[in-house]
């Protein structure tokens, strides 16, 4: 079967891994059965890649594609992204998205609700002053 990743992309990823100090020896790689929809195919094949960088303890589980080789490539790419984020002290996009969801789902505090009601009353009074006078 043909390799789904071009040699240029593979070479670029290897250079990036070398620059970050990631070696194949420092990574633990396992192929496990994936989870989720897929029926018989997903239950039979072990194309989900579990990659752990032993020095940092960063774990990646990648099952984005049907091919094992593509999942290996994507897992290494994700590992590089996470290690760069740790090195630079930045949160990854994935972490930021999770934090955003957590903030959105958190119930509003009592004080926040009170402030909102006060602001609504002020806005309501402003708008009521804009109405034309009634003819009684």
| Per-residue pLDDT at 136 | 65
Residues of the chain falling short of pLDDT 70: 1-2, 136
| Per-residue pLDDT at 135 | 76
Hey, which bits of 46-118 come out as E strands?
A: 48-53, 58-62
| Per-residue pLDDT at 102 | 94
| Per-residue pLDDT at 1 | 56
DSSP conformational letter for 120: H
| Per-residue pLDDT at 105 | 94
The CA distance from 132 to 73, in Å, is 68
DSSP calls for 10-47: HHHHHHHHHHHT--GGGEEEEEE---SS-THHHHH---
The helix/strand/coil state of 3 is coil
What is the reported pTM?
0.67
| Per-residue pLDDT at 45 | 87
| Per-residue pLDDT at 26 | 92
Decide which of 3.40.640.10, 3.30.300.30, 2.60.40.3470, 3.30.160.20 is the CATH code for 7-93: 3.30.160.20
| Per-residue pLDDT at 2 | 65
| Per-residue pLDDT at 94 | 78
Instruction: Give the list of residues 6+ apart from residue 119 with CB closer than 8 angstroms, or none.
Output: none
């Amino acid at each position: 079967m043909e390799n789904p990743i071009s040699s240029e992309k593979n070479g670029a990823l290897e250079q990036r891994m070398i620059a970050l100090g990631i070696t194949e020896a420092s990574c633990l790689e396992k192929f496990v059965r994936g989870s989720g929809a897929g029926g018989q195919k997903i239950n039979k094949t072990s194309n989900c890649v579990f990659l752990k960088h032993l020095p940092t303890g960063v774990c990646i589980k990648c099952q984005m594609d049907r091919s094992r080789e593509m999942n290996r490539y994507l897992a290494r790419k994700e590992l590089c992204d996470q290690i760069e984020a740790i090195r630079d002290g930045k949160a990854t996009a994935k972490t930021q998205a999770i934090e955003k969801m957590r903030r959105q789902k958190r119930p509003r505090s009592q004080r926040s609700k009170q402030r909102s009601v006060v602001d609504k009353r002020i806005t309501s009074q402003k708008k009521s002053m804009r109405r034309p006078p009634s003819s009684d």
